[in-house]
Chains A and B, each alone.
Chain A
Amino acid sequence: MSDLIDGFIMVGQMDVLVAILLSAIYGLVVGSLPGLSATMATALLVPVTFYLSPIAAVATIISASAMAIFSGDIPGCLLRIPGTPASAAYTDEAYAMTRKGQAEMALGIGLWFSAIGGIVGTLSLMVMAPALAEVALNFSSFEYFWLAVLGLMCATLVARSSPVKAIASMLLGLLFSCIGMENPAGAPRFTFGMTDLLGGIEPLPALVGVFALSEVMRALATAEPPPLPRRKFGSILAGQWSLTRRFQWPMWRGNVVGIIIGVLPGAGADMAAWVSYALSKRFSKTPEKFGTGHPEGLVEAGASNNASLASGWVPALLFGIPGDTITAIAIGVLYMKGLNPGPTLFTERASSMYALYIIFILANIIMIPLGILMIRLATRVLRAPRASIMPVILMLCAMGAFATGNNLFAILLVGFFGVLGYIMERNGYPVAALVLGIVMGSMVEQSFVTSLIKSDNSLLPFFERPISAVLATITLAALLWPVAAWLIRRRRRAPRRPAPQGG
């Protein structure tokens, strides 16, 4: 109980409250600008967190990411351009409502059910994380190895792309993590004699490059989206309560699916929204209404993507394995602030964990008034031409990377990863898998080599311990699944091949 009170006192500090408010506004604005994703908003925020207290630093990340995921719905609804990838799943539906003259309702659904999803997700984090921490205390390097690999495999399985390409992206990320002196021999590895590479590739410049710079590059290569027509909005929250009652079941399903996808390492809000929208359509009593401006799918997917945000912190806090790309950034901040992820965090730093839960709830509550304000101002914010935003974002990429170590080399890394991310994305290689590979590489290698040394180079103990055997089976199934699926498809297609000759 005293931990809980301590948590409240920690959040009640002036600097934490100001940090929550400012980062909330920042998240709302950045999330609403088309093309600027929640991950990017978070990545550019990291240099600022250097100068904040640990709780304030975590608070900025939580509130900025939650707001950005909601506010990505705004341009999707008004312009048919999703503000963040997490809104892409239901952009068409929301825009159809706008065309029917129900823009207020569509935006209200986004706001109201995002907040509910966020709060339910937080409750799941509060229940799950401490319970799992008990189990996690028994984990040895074998379990950690499989868990890390399973996390990487999840990232490849849920990518909306070829699983082979996703695995290749992930391996590329792991390869980048090999660079530097931090390896079992402590000798420079793959540094090509460059002193700047001795310390390894920091995840932050890679993240900024892949998620922010490549977005600036894409803006340069595509046409300016159409300007938003001016409009006045009626009441945003009117009718939301009756919608909550009417679509209670889809809302809960969205929450639960979001939580499950969030907990899976590597799968985040975008995936939650896609899966939930598809499920909603599949189980709806009126699937024919989907796509014509029907609120049901919006309710389910809107709740789902925000629920996944909070539960994504479960593997991050327990194992240091990111639940999605946003928590991949958060883990770095946690380490920097001395809140090293691990099961002991819940026993030794319990008050900090309570503070974290409180921040989540608080962020989702202030989302409603701030979100209404943002919707009212949206027509102004969204009229800002890209030519005035992207140059500043480019400079923020440079400054943000530079601030991590006051080293110009970091800016070159941003440039390199920006180009790499841009080319990979254009060719169907999912960049989230690359980033997770970079973030988790040293953990995978460490647990792998430690386990091999412990087992005297035998692979058998990797499968002998009960938990590690289960994890290994799931991982190998995930690894072999693309090959199996390909073979099945080929076999099905094979008999049809002679047909064109006949007809």
Chain B
Amino acid sequence: MQLSDKVTGALLIALGGVTAYGASLQPGVPGQDVGPSVFPAVIGLGLMGCGAMIAFGVGHSFEAPDDTIPAEPGETVPRPPRFAEWRAFLAPLLLVLYVLVSETLGFLITAAICILVMTRALGGSWRLAVALALLGPVGLHLAFYELLRVPLPDGLLALPW
């Protein structure tokens, strides 16, 4: 998700504009000049200013190069996986899936699905993925449900204890 500074700058200007407009719609406090609109208005103007400066490349020269250490001669650099940019979004998508189905399927089944998919996506073998998907949710359930008393949904499958 590498975007040019022009794009992110323009996005910030737009966001700042919307913020400032939204701030102007805030209700006032009777008998008082300073209300809930002041702070967001300042932020909105600030965002627009920063966005414009970023789009014009102000401060770009300060950006430090990536922390990644260059490889030694002769050292093999592992190649990034295919669709690297898009694979990253699997993790938040799994969280959305969890929110959507955990009430009906229950914690154990939903967590098992998430862990199975993640392990495979990270290149783990099927054996590792299945073992983790079976043991992981039970361990998490023990820690959060039994010890920390977090009300995880039972759904279709409840543990006997």
A189-B26 in contact (CB<8A): yes
Query: Shortest beta-carbon distance, A27 to chain B, in Å?
Result: 17
Q: Which residues of B contact A218 (CB under 8 A)?
A: 88
A-B contact pairs, 22 of them (CB 8 A): A47-B144, A162-B54, A164-B59, A168-B51, A168-B54, A174-B43, A184-B35, A187-B36, A213-B92, A213-B95, A216-B91, A219-B122, A221-B88, A223-B81, A392-B140, A396-B140, A412-B95, A414-B95, A426-B2, A448-B38, A453-B34, A483-B58
B114-A395 in contact (CB<8A): yes
Q: Which residues of B contact A190 (CB under 8 A)?
A: 22, 40
Q: Say whether A339 faces chain B, with CB atoms less than 8 Å apart.
A: no
Q: Which residues of A contact B35 (CB under 8 A)?
A: 184-185
Q: Say whether B157 faces chain A, with CB atoms less than 8 Å apart.
A: no
Q: Which one, B5, B34, B36, contacts A452 given CB within 8 A?
A: B34
Tell me the nearest residue of chain A to B76, going by C-beta. Answer: A226
Q: Which residues of B contact A185 (CB under 8 A)?
A: 26-29, 35-36
The A contact surface, by secondary structure, is helix
Q: Which of B15, B36, B132 has the most CB of A within 10 A?
A: B36
Q: Which residues of B contact A217 (CB under 8 A)?
A: 88-89, 91-92
A221-B58 in contact (CB<8A): no
Q: Which residues of A contact B140 (CB under 8 A)?
A: 392, 395-396, 399
Knowing A187-B36, A394-B91, A394-B95, the reply to whether A164 touches B50 (Cβ < 8 A) is yes
Assembly CA distance A56 to B134 (angstroms): 32
Q: Which residues of B contact A85 (CB under 8 A)?
A: 67
Q: Which of A92, A161, A217, A428 has the most CB of B within 10 A?
A: A428
B58-A164 in contact (CB<8A): yes
Q: Which residues of A contact B111 (CB under 8 A)?
A: 395
Q: Say whether B159 faces chain A, with CB atoms less than 8 Å apart.
A: no
Assembly CA distance A483 to B62 (angstroms): 12
Q: Which one, B44, B59, B87, contacts A220 given CB within 8 A?
A: B87
Identify 13 new A-B residue pairs, CB closer than 8 A, beyond the known A221-B87, A444-B39, A489-B61. Answer: A47-B144, A91-B69, A175-B40, A221-B81, A223-B79, A223-B81, A388-B128, A395-B111, A395-B137, A419-B92, A449-B38, A457-B33, A486-B58
Question: Interface range on chain B: under 10, 10 to 19, 20 to 34, or 35 or more?
Answer: 35 or more
Tell me the nearest residue of chain A to B50, going by C-beta. Answer: A168
Tell me the nearest residue of chain B to A165, going by C-beta. Answer: B54
Tell me the nearest residue of chain B to A493, going by C-beta. Answer: B61
B26-A426 in contact (CB<8A): no
In the complex, chain A residues 148-190 whose Cβ is within 8 Å of any chain B Cβ: 160-165, 167-168, 171-172, 174-175, 178, 183-185, 187, 189-190
Tell me the nearest residue of chain B to A48, going by C-beta. Answer: B148
Knowing A220-B91, A403-B150, A445-B39, the reply to whether A408 touches B102 (Cβ < 8 A) is yes
Binary interface encoding of chain A residues 410-425 relative to chain B, with 1 for a CB under 8 A from any of its CBs, else 0: 0110111011001100
Binary interface encoding of chain B residues 123-151 relative to chain A, with 1 for a CB under 8 A from any of its CBs, else 0: 11000110010001100100010011111
Q: Which residues of A contact B152 (CB under 8 A)?
A: 399, 402
Q: Which residues of A contact B2 (CB under 8 A)?
A: 426-427
In the complex, chain A residues 224-240 whose Cβ is within 8 Å of any chain B Cβ: 224-226
Q: Which residues of A contact B34 (CB under 8 A)?
A: 184, 449, 452-453, 457
- How many A-B pairs have beta carbons closer than 8 Å: the answer is 230
In the complex, chain B residues 7-40 whose Cβ is within 8 Å of any chain A Cβ: 8, 12, 15, 19, 22, 26-29, 32-36, 38-40
A220-B46 in contact (CB<8A): no
In the complex, chain A residues 446-479 whose Cβ is within 8 Å of any chain B Cβ: 448-449, 452-453, 457
B54-A175 in contact (CB<8A): no
Q: Which residues of B contact A48 (CB under 8 A)?
A: 148
Knowing A414-B95, A427-B3, the reply to whether A403 touches B84 (Cβ < 8 A) is no
Q: Which residues of B contact A418 (CB under 8 A)?
A: 91-92, 95
Binary interface encoding of chain A residues 374-410 relative to chain B, with 1 for a CB under 8 A from any of its CBs, else 0: 0000000000011110111011111100110010100
Q: Say whether A195 faces chain B, with CB atoms less than 8 Å apart.
A: no
Q: Which of A91, A390, A448 has the most CB of B within 10 A?
A: A390
Q: Which residues of A contact B54 (CB under 8 A)?
A: 162, 164-165, 168
Q: Which of A218, A219, A220, A391 has the most CB of B within 10 A?
A: A391
Query: Shortest beta-carbon distance, A396 to chain B, in Å?
Result: 8
A427-B8 in contact (CB<8A): yes
Binary interface encoding of chain B residues 82-122 relative to chain A, with 1 for a CB under 8 A from any of its CBs, else 0: 00110111111111101100110000000100110011011
Q: Which residues of A contact B115 (CB under 8 A)?
A: 391-392, 394-395
B95-A397 in contact (CB<8A): yes
Query: Shortest beta-carbon distance, A197 to chain B, in Å?
Result: 13
Q: Which residues of B contact A92 (CB under 8 A)?
A: 69
Tell me the nearest residue of chain A to B151, going by C-beta. Answer: A406
Q: Which residues of A contact B50 (CB under 8 A)?
A: 164-165, 167-168, 171
Assembly CA distance A298 to B89 (angstroms): 37
Assembly CA distance A140 to B114 (angstroms): 50
Assembly CA distance A397 to B98 (angstroms): 12
B148-A178 in contact (CB<8A): no
Binary interface encoding of chain A residues 188-213 relative to chain B, with 1 for a CB under 8 A from any of its CBs, else 0: 01100000000000000000000001
Query: Shortest beta-carbon distance, B148 to chain A, in Å?
Result: 6
Q: Say whether A283 faces chain B, with CB atoms less than 8 Å apart.
A: no
Query: Shortest beta-carbon distance, A37 to chain B, in Å?
Result: 12
Q: Which residues of A contact B88 (CB under 8 A)?
A: 217-218, 220-221, 422
Assembly CA distance A160 to B111 (angstroms): 37
B78-A223 in contact (CB<8A): yes
Q: Say whether A482 faces chain B, with CB atoms less than 8 Å apart.
A: yes
Tell me the nearest residue of chain A to B42, going by C-beta. Answer: A448
Binary interface encoding of chain A residues 422-440 relative to chain B, with 1 for a CB under 8 A from any of its CBs, else 0: 1100111100000000000
